A and B are shown apart, each in its own frame.
Chain A
Amino acid sequence: MQNQYRLGIDAGGTFTDFILADRKGGVRIFKALSTPNDPTAAIRNGLALIEEETGLSPETIVSNADLCINGTTVGLNALITHNGAKTGLIATRGHEDSIEIRLGHKEDGYRYDPDYPPATMLVPRYLRRGVGERVLSNGQVHTPLNEDDVREACRHFLREGVESVAISFVWSVLHPEHENRAAEIVREMMPDVRLTVGSQLYPQVREYTRTSTAIVNAYLAPILQRYVEAVDAYFRSLGARHPVRYFQSNGGLALGKVVSDQSVYAINSGPASAPQAALWLGQPWGMKDIITVDMGGTSFDITLTRDGRANVSKNVDFLRYRIGIPMIQVETLGAGGGSIGWIDSMGLMQMGPQSAGSEPGPACYDQGGEKPTTTDANLVLGYLNPDGLVGGRLPLNVEKARAAIKTHLADPLGISVEKAAYGMFTIVNNNMVNAIRRVSVERGYDPRDFVLNCAGGATAAHITALAREMGTRKVLISKLASGLCAFGQIISDVKYNYMAPAAARLEGAESAAKLNGLFNGLEARGRADLMADGFTDDTISIRRSLDMRYVGQVHECTVDVDPFEVTEAALERLKAAFHARHEELYTYAEPNSAVEVVNVESAITGAVDKPGRMTVVPGKGAHSALKGTREMIFNADGIAHETPVYDGAALGAGDRITGPAVIQEVTTTIVIEPGWLAELDASGVYVLTLATQTGAAQPQRATEVA
């Protein structure tokens, strides 16, 4: 870090988190209410709050900060509420409807549901215009572009007041000239609209995915542009010496200009920083295989890193819209503190996905909520302090929680309130474990081989139970857990993805040279972009990957290119890596079948230097932090046991606690089930290990990191 401070701002649904780090390892979290209608207001309010608590004025911080990082939900909110720009699509004639046909599929889970609505069209049919043009699957032009059709479409859009235009033609990735020429005409006739060109935004095969991605981008671009301009101007007015950087769903930072041109990269950025944070926390022990779980009020987000790299998703449905660009894989489940327990029409107890939210909230908030929620169960089980959450600002009513559980679950099932509460806890945990399979088992990984990392305010009450269900033996809980994603952003690098289609069978020197040339071309662009942002050659790193499949398959496995140069000899290694990956994922490989490459991608990173690590002073033994005891339930029998409660703020480095126990931190409550040993590390991270027969396993630091 060159300057005194680094400031991270992460807007969530309810709260906007602020992380203020300094050069010496001091890290503080602040929270302000989010202001979805005027997103910059939350930033002003948060900086005012920081001034109130620290005496540091916004000008002091910003003018002495080397980086102000902004994770925004502006795009996400616009997509959820369908409040994006009025958008028009110019498509190949005959293919205007692919985004409404949506591959002809209705989502699983709603097969016979008469009320489940179709996805809302971001571009209604009357704003999707077909033009004469066609490129074939071999890249040849079948029908040249009819420029008059494009002009007619523009005239139509102008009449209709369209603010943003997407152009996406069939096979444009093999012959972008038609799209490029159409783009020139649109710029000429509609100089004031935002323009998204499919083959530029997402140069990969799959028309539906490319068109859908382009439309989402076009739909959000004007919104992001307005936001970025407002934020940039505000920070400039505070004397910022560096441009604001924005966090993207690919797990990296980008300049505002990039975010407003490629808005689709910003849609799910919040949880995408979790893998980065997890690796940072695990670094002192050399941990690289980490699953991070983040439980908030209504949802549960899961991310995974394997060998230090985050899972990436491509070509997935996000909020019912197909998105092609690589995004950090974030599996989201409707399971949070507010998730409601109910009995379904068959008589089975279920948890969520309906949530009591923050209004009226769980029954124990005593704000009119009558449905039993996860938080109510945790309170009845004794895990949460009835005196209240968030340092006592929100007292909890145990009787209300018990009444809700009794009425809606325990009585109908004929079991005690305690058993029902433990059942709620068990079911919500199992829902989460099943969802964790989507980032692990479905990616060919065994979750037992991973460390479980805790993020979000509500997670720590469940973390040892989740680890037990998963068979995981090690857990990390940072003191910053409740703001871990905001923290992940301030330690992230700038990252851009560059892609190209590359239909080729993996045979011979010529195909190797062709692939290598493609990569070199992409990377030359990437270097130029990063150097324009002030990065030097020694801070730029590149990761190459290939999307590969057996000839005849249509779904690809991504294989990293390592070593870097694609040579004829490397092809054999790449093929071997592909066979191995296929077997890992699907139980079998076909070593004698031909393998083809479909897409190439280079992820190009500009390294940003990191702030110092938090340091906790050595402790005097856990007993000095003991606050008292509470009755807690740790078993399906529903029987309560007297259990110690510790004050996290009073614990020091090296202090150890054996479960069962609870550690109360200011913004989170850590439940340590019987059999677990927790030790607070000097870096501000609790390391929990499963005690073995021969005694408690002890965390071993691989290397001491400054």
Chain B
Amino acid sequence: MTKRNVDPITLSVVRGVLETTQREMTLTLEQTARSSVFNLAHDYSTALFNHTPEMILQGQDIPIHLGSLIPAMKSVAKFFEGEIHEGDLILHNDPAYGGSHIIDTCMYYPVFYEGELVFWTVCKGHLTDIGGPVPAGYNPNATEIFAEGLRIPPVKLWDKGKPRHDVMNLLLTNMRARRDQEGDFNALIGACQVGARNLINLMKKYGKDVVQDCIAELLDMAEAHMRKLIAGVPDGTYTGTAILEDAGHGFGDFDITATVTIKGDACHIEIASPPQVPYFINSYEGNSHSGVYLGLMMFAQLPPPYNEGLYRCVTTDMGPKGTLCNAKSPAPHMNCTTTPMETLTDAVRLAFEQAAPAKVSASWGHANGCNIAGWDKRHDEEYVTMVLASIISGAGATAAQDGWHACGPECCFGALTSGDIEMLEHSYPIIIHRYGLMEDSGGAGKNRGGSGTCWEVEPMDTPMTLVTFGEGRRIPAMGAAGAKSALIQPKVGRLEVTRNGQTRIITENVIETIQPGERAANKNPGGGGYGNPFERDIQKVVEDVRNGLVSLEGARLDYGVVITDRDSLSVDHAATAKLRAA
């Protein structure tokens, strides 16, 4: 390789501009989008690619979006090879072309400079609807992808600067809540434009060649960084198996196994999963990349910036085509970004925990949430949305500290936001009776897992369709470094529907109709603990009890701490010592 003409100072400057560019793209999406999924929940991501196309900057958005953007960008560029022109804008969602799930639509904008393709500005966002039989896309009854919504292979939305209104109209005609979808498309396009503007200015200032050299250098540096981390792990083969629980598909539990082979400064990750199933939990290869990379980052724990150089020393094998983690058409897949993705991530994380036991933190609570749809009488229009607030689970504990409360799910790693209660009630005709932390929901450990959340809703004046997705309703978030909980029930998710004074607990993925006057409470799991819970500082357990995060029963069963009563919070030290010694 020839020595590039890169001085270390310009390099730092270019890095800063790339990060600023990505930040401004993200801000544009957040500020202008229409649906609550975008504008309140941040379920979108942005990235920059060079012409090859290699990801040169991964935003600090949703981890589960970003891994899959790498194969998706390459598929899209290949599809239009030789036909990419200045002023084109490409839309795509299909997992057969590296997409994650079809409700995540991606916008790709080629950036030309002096007549030459130099960069791509890219963003991906979770629309609130993509057509198909079930509002919001998650159809637990789908046995094929065709029953989940509209597949969009790479298609030009603009052709040499000319918007193709016919194509846009075709898409919007097939979607619910058209105004929201149109507004969100505009936001995605606006973000790509903002990104392109900045990159062009950067090239005007430093020249295209200098900028490209700097970027090549940044990719190499990221590669070297990851290689150094991996070289620090003893050579060998490490295996992790995580259980994907049956969430209503009737096929029983599945094992997903990750085998991580470390050799020198390179790493190979192999996934083994059962054959794909006619249920919406299959993951196509692009999406599985996200899960694998997230598991890797839970080990690497790197600060930004992130680019594709990080993954150059990592090879992957998602298993044979036609399996759960390497699905092929027509496998239904809508739930894939959370299920089986988080279990896949856990398997990779667990394999790395064998490799670097002191470093790897606990698993986070898995997504176990709902979508809602119905009629909004206030504006005489249909509403539909994913409720991101309903999937905010607890974060896993780390070697350094307790897990964050209400920061999950694992696939989003704190990048989502739940949205303000009043803004949600303003946007949709619902009453949110409760949005709070749950007692005993954090996994027990020397460092406790973060608490999960409960989101309880009642439709205001018209029946509401509520669709559940995800899992984590029987198996709690996995602890690390010897953490283990005794009190399981409060640590797993579920849906509780209360009608006429009777509460029914639902642990499967279903489509329910909730009437005004009825309530649905979606409970989300807490994060896993870290270390032996019997070694947790007694005073910390007392504080958790004072704050209603741990019950007296939880203190005794999970932590071996006997507290006499809630008022005095005094500890029976003799009984505690006895329990802890057992």
Q: Which residues of A contact B (CB under 8 A)?
A: 94-98, 100-106, 108-115, 117-118, 124-126, 134, 136-138, 142, 170-171, 205-209, 344-350, 413, 415, 419, 422-423, 426-427, 430-431, 434, 437, 441-442, 503, 550-555, 582, 585-588, 590, 593, 636
Contacts and interface: CB of A to CB of B under 8 A. Distances in A.
Contacts of B433: 94, 134
Interface stretch (B148-156, B186-194, B232-240): B186-194
B401 A117 contact: yes
Q: 3 tightest A-B contacts by CB?
A: A106-B414, A94-B434, A114-B398
Interface string B399-433: 11100111110000111111111110111000111
Contacts of A208: 420-421
B546 A126 contact: yes
Contact of A427 (B9, B28, B63): B9
A375 to B, nearest CB: 19
Contact of B297 (A112, A171, A555): A112
Nearest to B225: A346
B330 interface: no
Given A112-B302, A124-B546, 20 more contacts: A95-B434, A97-B436, A101-B418, A104-B406, A105-B418, A106-B413, A109-B60, A111-B413, A112-B303, A117-B401, A137-B425, A137-B460, A208-B420, A347-B224, A415-B8, A423-B8, A426-B13, A554-B423, A585-B31, A593-B179
Contacts of B422: 137, 170-171, 205-207
A694 B433 CA distance: 70
A103 B186 contact: no
B97 to A, nearest CB: 27
Contact of B39 (A441, A555, A587): A555
A105 B31 CA distance: 17
A111 B34 contact: no
A424 to B, nearest CB: 9
B406 A554 contact: no
A125 B547 contact: yes
B415 A111 contact: yes
A348 B435 contact: no
A427 B8 CA distance: 10
B33 A348 contact: no
Nearest to A426: B9
Contact of B179 (A104, A138, A434, A552): A552
Contact of A205 (B16, B404, B426): B426
B24 interface: yes
B31 A209 contact: no
Contacts of A118: 404-405
A636 B9 contact: yes
30 contacts: A94-B436, A97-B436, A97-B437, A100-B437, A103-B419, A104-B406, A106-B407, A106-B415, A111-B60, A111-B304, A114-B301, A115-B398, A118-B404, A124-B547, A125-B549, A126-B548, A206-B420, A207-B422, A208-B421, A346-B221, A346-B305, A348-B12, A423-B12, A427-B16, A434-B16, A503-B426, A550-B34, A587-B197, A588-B186, A590-B183
Q: Of residues A111, A345, A441, A590, which shows the largest number of chain B Cβ atoms within 10 Å of its Cβ? A: A111
B142 interface: no
A553 B9 contact: no
A199 to B, nearest CB: 12
A24 to B, nearest CB: 47
B104 interface: no
Interface in B333-377: 361
B437 A112 contact: no
B127 interface: no
Nearest to A94: B434
B433 to A, nearest CB: 5
Q: Of residues A109, A118, A350, which shows the largest number of chain B Cβ atoms within 10 Å of its Cβ? A: A118
Q: Of residues B24, B302, B423, B548, which shows the largest number of chain A Cβ atoms within 10 Å of its Cβ? A: B423
Contacts of B33: 553
Contact of A586 (B32, B179, B392, B425): B32
A206 B422 CA distance: 5
Q: Of residues A423, A441, A554, A587, which shows the largest number of chain B Cβ atoms within 10 Å of its Cβ? A: A554
Contacts of A350: 12
B558 interface: no
Nearest to A204: B422
Interface of B: 7-9, 11-13, 15-17, 19-20, 24, 27-28, 30-36, 39-40, 42, 60, 63, 179-180, 183, 186-187, 189-190, 193-194, 197, 221-222, 224-225, 297-298, 300-305, 361, 378, 388-389, 392, 395, 398-401, 404-408, 413-423, 425-427, 431-437, 453, 456, 460, 546-549
A138 B423 CA distance: 12
B24 A437 contact: yes
B456 A137 contact: no
A349 B8 contact: yes
B365 to A, nearest CB: 11
Contacts of B20: 434, 437
Q: Of residues A106, A134, A426, which shows the largest number of chain B Cβ atoms within 10 Å of its Cβ? A: A106
B439 to A, nearest CB: 10
Contacts of A113: 301, 303
A207 B193 CA distance: 33
B425 A136 contact: yes
B245 to A, nearest CB: 24
A219 B302 CA distance: 36
B12 A349 contact: yes
A101 B435 contact: yes
Contact of B404 (A106, A138, A349, A437): A106
Contact of A126 (B39, B193, B302, B547): B547
Nearest to A345: B225
A348 B405 contact: no
Contacts of A101: 392, 405-406, 418, 435-437, 453
A103 B221 contact: no
B418 A103 contact: yes
B405 A100 contact: yes
Contacts of A636: 7, 9
Nearest to A118: B404
Contacts of A551: 179
A98 B435 contact: yes
A555 B31 contact: yes
Contact of B427 (A413, A430, A554): A554
B34 A552 contact: yes
Given A115-B400, A552-B179, A586-B190, A102 B426 contact: no
B11 A348 contact: yes
Contact of A553 (B34, B400, B405): B34
Q: Of residues A209, A348, A636, which shows the largest number of chain B Cβ atoms within 10 Å of its Cβ? A: A348
Given A101-B453, A126-B548, A430-B12, A207 B421 contact: yes
Given A426-B9, A431-B16, A553-B39, A115 B401 contact: yes
